[in-house]
Structures are given as C-alpha cells and as structure tokens.
Amino acid sequence: MRILVCISKTPDTTSKIVFKDGNTKFDETGVQWIINPYDEWYALVKAIELKEKDPAATIHLITVGSADCEPIIRKALALGGDEAIRINSDSTDSYFIASQIAAIAQAGNYDIIFTGKETIDYNGSSIGGMVAALVNKPYISLAASFALNENTATIIREIEGGEETCELSLPAVISCQKGMAEQRIPNMRGIMAARTKPLKVVEPVAAEALTSIVSFELPVAKAGVKLVAADNVAELVRLLHEEAKAI
C-alpha cells in the first residue's frame, strides 16, 4: 500500500499576526512555524497507524513551498514518514497547489491520499477536493474515522446533526479532521532517522494560478463587556437594541 500525505507549513497559533506592504503580505518576522495540525495530528498519524498494521506500506510526504519548509517536512519524517517531496514554489493559490500535488500523485500510483481538512491560516478546505478531481479518484471530506478491510475503506464523517458512514474502494482521497487519530510526538530515534530520509526537491509543473491575495485585514477589536443586573431587563433590552443592534 502506498500512502501520500499532504503537509503544510502554518504559523503557530501563538504567533503575533502582522501585515506589511500595505496589508498585502503576511509579515513572517519572528513567526514560529509548525506543521498544520490537521495534517500532522490526523492525516499523518492515521497513515502511520495504517503502516503499523501493514509494515509493507510506504508513506510519502508532499509539501508545496520554498526551502524554509524543510524543517517542517523533516519533523513530519521524524514522526513516521518514509520519504518526502517538496515542490519548489511558494504559491498561495489552491488550484496551483492542488495541481502540483496531483502531478506527483498520478506519477506515484498511490492507494490513499490523505490531507488535513484545512490549514489553520487560510482555512480554505479546498485542496483535497481539487486533488481528487484532478486525479479522478473518489473523495471523502471531514473524515473522523477510517477503517480499512483489504481494498475497501469504511469512513465516518461528520454531517450536520449526526454522522455519515461511507464505503469506497481504493484508491481514494480523504481529508481528515478531529477523531481520525491521536496526536503523537517524535521520539529521538525518529528524529535521528529523519536526517537521512530522502527529501526530494522538484520544480513545479505548469499550472495557472486562479486567485491572488489583494489584501489582509485584522478583525475589528472587541469592545469591552457591559454587565447588567439580572433584574434589569429593560436596560438589557435597550443595550441590545441601541448598541448591539441585535434586536
């Protein structure tokens, strides 16, 4: 079994968000970078669990990014990937990124392509579906459980008000969310082994970028909290009507 896991570099959630160049670029000064949690905790760890049940399985990691992504992909290798591929491009366009992943996926003949459900910086949740369309394979999003019986996968995904159970035959593309697996921490053996695992850098294939970032904006600062006595209903109604404009 061949598994491809998509890995993204994202800012740590404790990073201070600042923009520059007229709010058109994210200021990376002093930012701590991490593996996108949905990619690491759920997609990659599920792939590792599958390999633990089938030692003959191979896990390849793929990321689209410049050289500064390599510490992130090395950490993913330390967790349990066998080898990694970095597409040498720093594009933020979802279609362009999906096209790069799809080109590698088609050449690699993978049985499973795992992605996180979204990245925690852009929250686009679009890569998995685009990759599936480009490689013409079935796609299940928001997977919270994945069980494999020979060539048939049983997947539980969250839907509004409940859960949906799907079955499909491999190969397939799956986007993963909370519940798929439990977080793991690289051990010393994995960290040392990651230094010598293959990390192949390839140039991007020709693909059109369909979107571009015009500007960023920070959310409006939250106003202070006003406390209203429990028995002062009239004041509460006034505030909701005149200030909050909620009624």
Task: Find the CATH number of the domain harbouring 163.
Answer: 3.40.50.620
pLDDT of residue 188: 81
pTM of the model: 0.86
Angle at which helix 94-108 crosses helix 127-135, to 10 degrees, equals: 50
pLDDT, position 191: 85
Rounded CA separation 113/233 (Å):
55
Return the pLDDT at 234. Answer: 92
Q: What is the pLDDT of residue 246?
A: 83
Q: Over the stretch 52-93, which tens digit does the pLDDT of each residue have?
A: 999 999 999 999 999 999 999 999 999 999 999 999 999 999
> Is residue 241 one of the residues assigned to a domain?
no
Count of structural domains, the chain: 1
In a domain, 76, yes or no: yes
Q: Is residue 44 part of a domain?
A: yes
Whether 97 is in a domain gets the answer yes
Q: Which residues of the chain have pLDDT under 50?
A: none
Bridge partners, 167 (sequence order): 154
| First-to-final CA distance of the chain | 57
Structural domain includes residue 235: no
Whether residue 188 lies inside any domain: the answer is yes
Tell me, what's the pLDDT at 175? 96
Domain that includes residue 58, residue range: 2-220
